[in-house]
A and B are shown apart, each in its own frame.
Chain A
Amino acid sequence: MTVVSVQQNVLALNGDEAVALAVKQSDVDVVAAYPITPQTIIVERFSEYVADGEVDTEFVCTESEHSALTACLTASATGVRTFTASASAGLALMHEILYVTSGCRAPVVMAIANRALSAPINIHCDHSDSMVERDSGWIQVYVENSQEAYDSIIQAFRIAENPEVLLPVMVCLDAFFLSHTLENVRVLSDDIVQGFVGLRKIPLVASHEGKKVPFRLDPENPITIGPLDLYDYYFEHKRQQEEAMNHAPQVIKRVHDEYAQLSGRRYGNGLIETYELEDAEIAAVCVGSTAGTAKTVVDELRAKGVKAGLLRLRTFRPLPTADVKEALESVRAIAVMDRSNSFGGNGGPVFHEIRHILYDSKTHPHVVNYIYGLGGRDMPQSLIRGIYRDLGEISETDRVESRVHFAGVRE
């Protein structure tokens, strides 16, 4: 595909700053947020834009994350574009409202600087905070680097607000590895981004006055949002949310393609990114920044003639089932890397999904799990090499000694 990209500046930004810049450029009407490490820089930078008059966003410093997301939800229901950011305990405090947001079909966009959950308290990276929210009805995008964080936030508004989707989107970036680490980020001009995101379109909905009216809180066309919905209709509304998730992959891919035309940047097909996977015999699967390290290890192994590959899940919700199945079916042994654990659940959440997808494959590849990096524990190349070494053995012997491993923890 020929890519015609526009003029871009290269800025040294950390992940949080890249997110803040993307929000600034996306004509966001309301930002409501509460500080928490390591997301704080997003809010701080955005406050500066507000203080310097660089945005005309209404910025609300709430007294809690619960209120931050609530305010985004109701602002969104009033018809405007909204953004918030959080992490760890903050996201956990939002838990209740995450479900309400998706249930109200409010296209809020949120950045998560993935951080471990207490206790003991820990400010560093793992995915426990967002993985536990996988069933909350939000689209979840996990990014590999700050560039992707920037690009994904801009795309997120288009995805969330698409009338076929109308779901909130979480863009997840790894704490400190991305949030606080300077990187060269190519950024589009304000005009280009504003043109790309456009004005939020409000779909129509049938009201109690027997009219089709804009789906927002508008005194001229009143609607009621968030009623008591019992066993007679609640299930139907939940089924609608599933359908919205079913529409999301096509929209995500389309928006990703359209953005690639502008920026010249692609992340796989928008749902998954494959790396040296076509003829791979062994492969790892991961989300987030670990993919960068894993790619280096794959290069090294390939140079030695080992047929190693990598699959990075970019969207965890919706889960790109068909794409994953197709990409991994011909691999003999697969290691799923989870930066969070499901205690007592026989492996981490990504493992559960990947193994579940491959249950239906005729080839039945071996799938093993490595829980790693909890609380920001480093995942060096050496450990990843070890994982591929294990995969090599499984592939050779056609035997799995142990299914779930903890990589990088001291005995």
Chain B
Amino acid sequence: MATTWKFTAKEIVEKPDLFTSGHRACAGCGPAIALRQIMKATRGPTIVTNATGCMEVVSTIYPYTAWKVPWIHTAFENAAANASGIAAALKAMKRKGRLQEDIDIIAFAGDGGTFDIGIQALSGAAERGHDFLYVLYDNEAYMNTGIQRSGGTPHGASTTTSPAGKVIPGKRQYKKAIADIMVAHEIPYVATASIAYWQDVLMKTRKGLEVEGPAFLHVLAPCPRGWRYDTSKTIEIAQLAVETCIFPLWESTDGQCSLSPQSKIVALKPERKRPVKEYLETQRRFRHLLTPEFESEIDNIQKMTDKRWNKLLRRCNLVSL
């Protein structure tokens, strides 16, 4: 479904924040940027629910709240079930004539709450077809508890539970292809986005809200503390992830997959595809890979990135390289 929504930057900056300042996210927080951008794309009355995690904690430190929309948090593994209950309630109220207006539902969860502990509730809600947008803000580890590895942590990253040691160079496993898993649920809309491209984030949010049924938006949101880089580099790194094809941008509408402009240009002009090393070098979570001892790991990451990129190109009916 193509959206008819059009916006100018001025309209968007003038729209009051529904996720406000005064939240206690760290300086340079990528997920906070993601939430701000997404909440700028709402189209009307909206209810938000959050899984336990960084964004839940920093936005609602009692008695303060950074939310100008109705908001509920219940637990870690159940953001999609929260949304299911809200959706069911709204549906029942409408059927009984106790509610007239259309209300959108957005569920936010981090990578831990999505790739790992929340995947069962997410899969169930997707299968049942509730009308809601699920936003995965992915900072690639359990940052709220102190940088532990999750199913969304990339290969080679050093975290407190996948530390780079003398014999094991960080996380051994590759990042779970969570958005592909959601595509396999045959829900109407799945997309990836990066906070480096705010218009794209907003447009995909709006599309996710507009479709009937579940939509899944996977937003890459770098974390200065966990990825170990200077707080000013959040957007730069979020952009590099796209330019290296570590995190390509695409959307799948009713099963039709297409690359978003920022990744499509790389597909069309392969010389613009930057080596993963340029991305890895920006973050001290990968620092150990830059030693002679473990540098073959960089090749492995490049190979896996290429393999996944080529698979994506094939799915988008673009020539595999």
A-side residues, CB < 8 A to B, are: 29-30, 32, 56-58, 60-64, 66-67, 70-80, 82, 96-97, 100, 104, 208, 216-230, 232-233
Contacts and interface: CB of A to CB of B under 8 A. Distances in A.
A71 B71 contact: no
Given A58-B92, A218-B70, A78 B85 contact: yes
B84 A219 contact: no
A166 B176 CA distance: 42
Given A70-B78, A218-B70, A228-B56, A32 B88 contact: yes
Contact of B95 (A58, A74, A216, A228): A58
Nearest to B78: A70
Contacts of A77: 72, 85-86
A224 B62 CA distance: 10
A95 to B, nearest CB: 11
Contact of A78 (B73, B77, B81, B86): B86
A217 B86 contact: yes
A71 B84 contact: yes
B84 A67 contact: yes
Given A73-B74, A219-B103, A227 B65 contact: yes
Interface in B79-105: 80-86, 88-93, 95-96, 101, 103
A224 B65 contact: yes
B92 A227 contact: no
A225 B75 contact: no
Nearest to B91: A58
A365 to B, nearest CB: 44
Interface in B92-132: 92-93, 95-96, 101, 103, 120-121, 123-125, 127-128
Given A32-B85, A77-B86, A227-B60, 9 more contacts: A63-B127, A67-B80, A70-B85, A74-B81, A74-B86, A100-B74, A219-B69, A222-B70, A225-B72
Contact of B74 (A58, A104, A218): A104
B73 A226 contact: yes
A200 B319 CA distance: 59
Contacts of A82: 85, 89
A67 B46 CA distance: 22
Contacts of B85: 30, 32, 60, 70-78, 82
Contact of A75 (B64, B75, B89): B89
Contact of B57 (A58, A96, A97, A228): A228
Of A97, A208, A221, A227, most buried by chain B (CB within 10 Å of CB) is A227
Contact of A74 (B57, B62, B74, B124): B74
Given A80-B89, A227-B60, A62 B81 contact: yes
B89 A78 contact: yes
A233 B89 contact: no
A63 B121 contact: yes
B63 interface: yes
Contacts of B89: 29-30, 58, 74-76, 78-80, 82
Interface string B261-276: 0000000000000000
B66 to A, nearest CB: 9
A228 B62 contact: yes
A66 B61 CA distance: 25
A58 B93 CA distance: 9
Nearest to B65: A224
A233 to B, nearest CB: 5
A221 B69 CA distance: 8
B93 A97 contact: no
Interface string B159-178: 00000000000000000000
A70 B65 contact: no
A60 B84 contact: yes
Contacts of A97: 74-75, 78
B71 A208 contact: no
A64 B95 CA distance: 26
A56 B96 contact: yes
A101 B49 CA distance: 15
